[in-house]
Amino acid sequence: MAEVTRLILLVEDDPDHELLTIRALKKSNIANDVHVARDGEEAINALFGPNAIRPQLILLDLKLPKIEGLEVLRRIRQSDATSMLPVVVLTSSDEERDVVRSYKLGVNSYIRKPVNFNDFAEATRQLGMYWLVLNECPPLS
């Protein structure tokens, strides 16, 4: 099994949101490498394929092509290899059912993407400080 690295897996299909997220992470001095999966299928392949990665954090959008974000989350939580990886839903969805379903499937945190870049950058900074600096992940077997 792959070892957990200081890598962030960003699962995001919108190129503008991808660039904003990476820019906000850099602006916050979060130097972790970012692996981008642009749809749910790419995310599944990144986590379970022959060259599987074990990121320190998964930032997961819900509205994805090929395999929706909630299904990606379900598969992450079903596998012993990935079940304890921190997953933060980072989405523009404001549907209450998405929040409820995400938590029922075991998401660690649910964040709505702020529309304003400065607000988005601040949310990303706080997210990075908590999940990548302060939080201690459980060891994976």
pLDDT > 70 fraction of the chain, expressed in percent and rounded: 94
For position 3, what pLDDT does the model report? 59
pTM: 0.90
81-92 pLDDT, tens digit each? 999 999 999 988
Q: How far is CA 134 from the centre of its chain?
A: 17
Partners of 59 in the beta sheet?
10, 88
| pLDDT over 90, % of the chain | 57
Buried/exposed code over 8-18 (b: 16+ C-beta within 10 A; e: otherwise): bbbbbbeeebb
Confidence at residue 31, expressed as pLDDT on a 0 to 100 scale: 79
Q: Is the pLDDT of residue 1 over 60?
A: no
pLDDT tens digit sequence for 108-135: 999 888 778 788 878 888 888 788 777 7
Q: Per-residue pLDDT tens for 3-30?
A: 556 899 999 999 988 998 898 888 878 8
Q: How far apart are CA 138 and CA 114, in angstroms?
A: 30
Question: In order of start, what are the domains of the chain with their CATH numbers?
Answer: 8-130 (3.40.50.2300)
Question: Which segments of 3-137 does DSSP mark as H helices, in order?
Answer: 15-27, 40-48, 69-78, 96-104, 117-128
Q: What is the pLDDT of residue 130?
A: 82
Going by C-alpha positions, the residue among 115, 99, 82, 109 that lies closest to residue 16 is 115
